[in-house]
């Protein structure tokens, strides 16, 4: 890369620390690795806030903002808006919204991290566009910004030059996607390895895996934790109630009742959610034909997978791939 990307992360007190430091560390590691190869660091990083100086965060540890968002000389080509309670409050501040709007005008791409989407939407640039934010604030966001199409099933959304990523750690996924775009997949993979994270959880993936979502709603998630992990590793197997009950040394009837009590869903529903989750990852990550994806994920046919996708996601597998596949 022959030129540097001027990346400005704008944050508003109290800011969510990982919204700021997560993407910053991705870009900083990309710089370190490039310099180790004798190349120009691809990113020049700046932290801006309403005022220069200590930026309070939700963790209680302050960060140092070297620039103000009111500084018209910032001129970023990449502007990222960090989230937190401060960002949601700042979206009501006309002076701050105007200042951010000025920064947006000079940027080639603009992204929000978590509830930074509130500030981005407040400028009006997301009207008629797709965006996402932290799952806990979907309804609040939709109420405040009805002209924005909220994507509730995405880690990050890219609509033209305007991007939005979901809750907190999703900012790392999004930053890695930017590195992959700027420097190539090999460089992004190198950064991910250095940070000991996955290269990507694709933008089209849910903010929660089916397993995590089920466990969050379960009354006793530990009861079948070992079985749940095994199921995720054997999706191509039948995974019938008798087979699962046998692994738990229980009668099928007793197993089905106890599983539903603990997980708040029937075994068959849970298995199908796991299979849809796995199929989404395969459809996003590669070019494996839909029929083969269905077989590998344990669906009896491509049509059965299509019906499951329609039921869970309201789209067909082919539509999901066309929308979210990473090139």
Residue 21, pLDDT score: 96
Residue 56 is given by DSSP the state -
Looking at the structure of the chain, the number of domains it has is: 2
Final residue of a domain: which of 127, 160, 195? 195
Q: Looking at the structure, do residues 29 and 176 belong to the same domain, yes or no?
A: yes
Tokens linked to 257: 């009742």
Q: Which whole-number Å values give the CA distances from 9 to 17, 29, 56, 228, in the listed order? A: 12, 16, 15, 39
Three-state secondary-structure class, residue 162: strand
Q: Looking at the structure, do residues 143 and 226 belong to the same domain, yes or no?
A: no
Evaluate whether 276 touches 235 at the Cβ level (below 8 Å).
Answer: no
Q: Looking at the structure, do residues 151 and 238 belong to the same domain, yes or no?
A: no
Residue 61, pLDDT score: 95
Over the chain, what is the mean pLDDT? 89
Residue 58, pLDDT score: 93
Matching residue, tokens 């995720």: 232
Residues 56-69 pLDDT 10s: 999 999 999 999 99
Q: Looking at the structure, do residues 40 and 129 belong to the same domain, yes or no?
A: yes
Provide the Cα torsion 153, 155, 159, 164; round to 10°: 120
Q: Looking at the structure, do residues 300 and 230 belong to the same domain, yes or no?
A: yes
Which residue range(s) make up the domain with 261? 210-324
Residue 312 pLDDT class (50, 70, 90 cuts): confident
Residue 170, pLDDT score: 86
Matching residue, tokens 């190198």: 190
Residues 189-245 pLDDT 10s: 889 888 877 554 444 445 445 565 666 667 777 888 889 889 989 999 999 999 999
pTM for this structure?
0.70
Residues 76-121 pLDDT 10s: 999 999 999 999 999 999 999 999 999 998 899 999 999 999 999 9
Query: Is 203 part of any domain?
Result: no
Q: Looking at the structure, do residues 220 and 319 belong to the same domain, yes or no?
A: yes
Closest CA relative to residue 189, chosen from 46, 6, 326: 326
Q: Looking at the structure, do residues 77 and 175 belong to the same domain, yes or no?
A: yes
Taking the CA atoms of the chain, what radius of gyration do you get in angstroms?
A: 22
Over residues 260-287, the mean pLDDT reads: 88
Final residue of a domain: which of 195, 218, 241? 195
CATH number at residue 272: 1.10.10.60
CATH number at residue 62: 3.40.50.880
Residue 327 pLDDT class (50, 70, 90 cuts): very low
Query: Is 190 part of any domain?
Result: yes
Query: Is 169 part of any domain?
Result: yes
Final residue of a domain: which of 147, 167, 195? 195
Query: Is 204 part of any domain?
Result: no
CA dist 191 and 11 (Å) reads 24
Distance from chain centroid for Cα 18: 13
Query: Is 202 part of any domain?
Result: no
């Amino acid at each position: 890369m022959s030129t540097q990307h001027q990346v400005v992360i704008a944050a508003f007190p109290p800011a969510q620390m990982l919204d700021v430091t997560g993407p910053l560390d991705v870009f900083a590691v990309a710089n370190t690795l490039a310099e180790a190869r004798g190349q120009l660091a691809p990113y020049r990083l700046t932290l801006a806030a309403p005022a220069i100086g200590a930026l309070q965060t939700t963790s209680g540890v302050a960060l140092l903002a070297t620039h103000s968002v009111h500084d018209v000389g910032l001129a970023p080509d990449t502007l990222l808006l960090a989230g937190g309670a401060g960002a949601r409050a700042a979206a009501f501040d006309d002076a701050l919204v105007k200042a951010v709007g000025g920064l947006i005008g000079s940027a080639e791409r603009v992204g929000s991290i978590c509830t930074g989407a509130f500030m981005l939407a407040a400028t009006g640039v997301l009207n008629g566009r797709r965006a996402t934010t932290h799952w806990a604030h979907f309804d609040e966001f939709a109420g405040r910004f009805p002209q924005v199409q909220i994507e509730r099933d995405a880690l990050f959304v890219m609509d033209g030059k305007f991007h939005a990523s979901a809750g907190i750690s999703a900012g790392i996924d999004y930053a890695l996607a930017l590195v992959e775009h700027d420097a190539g997949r090999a460089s992004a993979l190198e950064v991910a390895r250095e940070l000991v994270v996955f290269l990507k959880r694709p933008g089209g993936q849910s903010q929660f895996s089916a397993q995590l979502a089920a466990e969050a709603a379960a009354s006793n998630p530990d009861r079948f934790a070992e079985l749940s992990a095994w199921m995720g590793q054997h999706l191509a197997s039948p995974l019938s109630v008798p087979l699962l009950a046998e692994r738990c040394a229980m009668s099928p009837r007793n197993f089905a009742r106890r599983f539903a009590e603990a997980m708040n869903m029937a075994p068959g529903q849970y298995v199908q959610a796991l299979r849809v989750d796995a199929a989404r990852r395969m459809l996003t990550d590669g070019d494996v034909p839909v029929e083969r994806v269905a077989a590998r994920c344990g669906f009896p046919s491509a049509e059965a997978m299509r019906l499951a996708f329609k039921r869970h996601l309201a789209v067909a597998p082919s539509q999901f791939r066309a929308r979210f596949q990473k090139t």
